[in-house]
Amino acid sequence: MQFSSCHSALGKLRGETDFTIALAGNPNVGKSSVFNILTGMGVETANYPGKTVEVNIATTTLDDTRIGIIDLPGTYALGAVSEDQWVARQGVLDGNPDAVMMVVDATNLTRNLYMVLQFLELGYPMVLALNVLDVARREGRDIDIAALSNRLGVPILPTVANRGEGLDELIIAAVEVARDRIMPHPHGLVYGQDVEKDITALTDAIAGAELNDPYALPHRALALLLLENDPEFIELTSAMPGWQPVLDLAARLRSHIEEEHGQASATRIAAERHALAAIIAEEVETVSTTERAGIGERLWRYTTWPATGVPILFLVLGLVFVLMYFVGQRLADFLSGTWGTLVAHPLTSILYDNFGNNVVTNTLLWAVSGMQAALTVGIPYVLVFYLVLAFLEDSGYLNSVAFLTDSVMHKFGLHGRAMIPIIAGAGCNVPAIIGTRVLTTMRERLIAGTLIVMVPCSARSAVIFGAVGFYAGWQAALGIYVIVGVLWVLLGLGLNKVMPGKSAGLVMEMFPFRRPHMGTVFRKTWFRFKAFVFMAVPILLIGSLVLGLLFESGHLFDLASIFSPVVEGWMGLPPVAGLLLVMAILRKELALQLLTTLAIIMGASAAAENNLLLIMSKQQLFVFALVTAIYIPCVATIAALSREMGWARALMIMAFTVVLAVLVGGVVNQLFTVFGG
């Protein structure tokens, strides 16, 4: 469920539950496993105004206590540097949770403690989940949990989230902390003497001024935000009465820190926080070295070293494509056949027997065909993709791929994480578009989304091989892929040049491979698949009804004369090809299937079913398949784009691909004409 204001969604959650708990952690620490297991994955999503990063909201029950859980975006810090950091911070500030439950990676304690320190500064009741403790112990890391708990002043529970171990104890501890408002009592969490002196001066000034703060944060937290030159809080407080003297003092202290250390105040405070995290980790963690690296670490080395990593990547991508294409096709055949036998055929007979053969009946049957299109194209490939994606995520392989391809993807304004959804687009663009959620900025998601829709999916490949490969030879089919590939590279380079901003860079933890927990894999798959079905199927049904009404009423054929100057005059195709291209927005295989159907309707001959050359030349088939491969793939992809990036951007991408397809199709047709086909 989308809310126009995330604040209203969080307010609603507080009104319907006894306690609210914010769940935080970095993107790779197993936070999603904690959330999914605790809540059963029945969630609502809410976007902050102007932001695309989602906050998941769900409820769960402990005995008779109803608990609301705010799943903050996975991030490595809180701040206004990137969308995920901004939303994570605003999620906890606007949600004002009764407690914060933070998942910490035991294999990289120093890195994870940075955000723990930020939450302690904000002053919320908190409990820590020390996750993947089993992996840490296998790596020879021994963490003194009691000492760490005493140092931070918060309860700490050991967990193995993907197996559900320790999660019952974790939620019980979180509820106790929330119910009793047990505030953190850390010991010795101070920075360097010179920086601490400036922090204290500003803290005292804020306390002495008795100023209003809309979030009721501790004075020290406000001082740190102002010294870090946080634009959100400076803008907020500058509009409030009485704050200007404090802001002036903060500006002078920022200048003082910069003069003392030769770096921006925000950078210095971040360095102090990192140093403190390292000191704490060193105090509580003992690392024993082992002579032989574990299999997970060896796999990580093989998959990230270019000499072995690139061949392994191509092998994995090949396996992903085979699974998506062949397993998806088998599943599509089964679902389509089952739907046709059990639903479509009986329903067709019922409609005709009771309402007769008329425009209304035939239009309704288009919805039946639309559902069959969903079962044939979208649902099977999406299901297989999500299963493969969950497996790769849980194993840790996606991190290796991101690291391996990062330098190449930067040329397109992306980073390595974009590689998997782009390649997965060869099976189906819809889950690939949804997969762009791993990217942190809208600029990256927009570039990746545009590139994904330029990747020929399995439906478009069917048109290429069925129309061009069969009748004009494999060389012609290969030629289409070469043209699309060149356009893809040029488009990626061009978007990176013209779009304002730059890639956020690849910031992520690298950790050894681990054995996927199949229960977690299946849960992730089901949750994502269910969300897709509820999003895409209504769009497909509505699109089918609209196209069916236009077709059955005869108005769709009127469009042929409108498209004729472009379709016939510029691209050299029969005018009726325009109808095929319009209707193929519902399902790309329709372009090929309707081509033979319309050939019979136009009176070519029954033999046209087996010989498209009776109605189109090889040149026309090449242009037709090329245009089909370039322009926006299907209604489901448009819906996925709008879901992830908004309708305005989705329509912009759709319009761009249509213009590009017409332009390239016309140029190729003119070249065929000039050079004799």
The architecture CATH gives domain 6-180: 3-Layer(aba) Sandwich (3.40)
Q: What is the DSSP letter of 506?
A: -
Please choose, from the candidates 418, 423, 481, the residue with its C-alpha nearest in 3D space to the C-alpha of residue 446: 418
284, 143 Cβ separation under 8 angstroms:
yes
Continuous segment of H or E residues that includes residue 385: helix 379-395
Distance (Å, rounded) from C-alpha 646 to C-alpha 425?
20
Query: Can you list the alpha helix ranges (DSSP code H) found in 419-568?
Result: 419-424, 429-434, 442-453, 458-463, 470-472, 474-498, 518-552, 555-564
Q: pLDDT by residue (tens digit) across 366-418?
A: 777 767 656 765 577 677 777 887 788 777 777 777 777 777 788 888 877 77
611 vs 91, higher pLDDT? 91
Instruction: Give me the helix-helix angle, 167-180 and 31-39, nearest 10°.
Output: 80
Ramachandran category for residue 605: left, alpha or beta (phi over 0 → left; psi -120 to 50 → alpha) = left
Q: Tokens at residue 472, please?
A: 């004009």
Tell me what pLDDT residue 432 has.
Answer: 81
Tokens at 367, concatenated: 């919805």
> What is the Cα Rg of the chain in Å?
29
User: Closest Cα to residue 82, out of 507, 381, 639?
Assistant: 507
Kindly give the pairing relationship between strand 141-143 and strand 54-62: unpaired
- Annotated domain spans of the chain: 6-180, 193-287
Residue 540's pLDDT band (cuts 50, 70, 90) = low
What sign does the CA torsion over 150, 151, 154, 159 have? negative
Q: Which of helix, strand or coil describes residue 88?
A: helix
End-to-end CA distance of the chain: 52
∠ CA 654-655-660, nearest 5°, is 100
Residue 549 — very low, low, confident or very high, per pLDDT cuts 50/70/90?
confident
Query: Which tokens in the block code for residue 434?
Result: 């949804």
- Distance of alpha carbon 649 from alpha carbon 659, whole angstroms: 15
Element (H, E) at 157: strand 156-158
- Res 44: pLDDT: 46
Decide which of 3.40.50.970, 2.60.40.1930, 1.10.287.1770, 3.40.50.720 is the CATH code for 193-287.
1.10.287.1770
pLDDT band at residue 199 using 50, 70 and 90 as cut-offs: very high
Maximum pairwise Cα distance, the chain: 91
Per-residue pLDDT tens digits for 210-229:
777 778 889 999 999 999 99
Instruction: Report residue 49's pLDDT band, with 50, 70 and 90 as the boundaries.
Output: very low
Pick the more confident residue, 342 or 461: 342
pLDDT exceeds cutoff 90 at 483: yes
Rounded distance, CA 494 to CA 11, Å?
43
Q: How many helices (H) and strands (E) does the chain have?
A: 32, 9
